[in-house]
Amino acid sequence: MGKNKTITEKGHKILVYGGQRIRVLIDEASLKKKVKELGARITEDYTDRDLVIISVLRGSFIFLADICREIKIPVIFDFMAVSSYGDSKVSSGIVRITKDLEFSIEGKEVLIIEDIVDSGRTLNYLVKNLRARNPRNIEVCALLDKEDVPRKMENRVKYKGFDIPNQFVVGYGLDYAEKYRNIPFIGYIENE
Q: Which of 22, 174, 183, 189 binds ligand IMP (CB under 6 A)?
A: 174
Report the nearest approach of ligand IMP to the CB of residue 92 (Å).
Answer: 9
168 binds ligand IMP (CB under 6 A): yes
Active site residue 118: yes
Q: How far is CA 138 from CA 15, 51, 66, in A?
A: 38, 10, 21
- Give the per-residue contact string, 109-128, with ligand IMP (x = CB under 6 A; - = no): -----xxxxxxxxxx-----
54 binds ligand IMP (CB under 6 A): no
CA nearest 101: which of 138, 69, 146? 138
Report the nearest approach of ligand IMP to the CB of residue 49 (Å).
Answer: 26
Cα–Cα distance measured from residue 146 to residue 120, given in angstroms and rounded to the nearest whole number: 9
Helix/strand/coil for 134: coil
Q: Which does 187 bind (CB under 5 to 8 A by kind): Mg ion, ligand IMP, none?
A: none
Written as one letter, the residue type at 71 is I
Q: Which does 155 bind (CB under 5 to 8 A by kind): ligand IMP, Mg ion, none?
A: none
CA within 13 Å, CB half, 47: 7
Report the nearest approach of Mg ion to the CB of residue 155 (Å).
Answer: 20
Cα–Cα distance measured from residue 22 to residue 182, given in angstroms and rounded to the nearest whole number: 13
Residue numbers of the site for ligand IMP (CB under 6 A)? 59, 91, 114-123, 168-170, 174-175
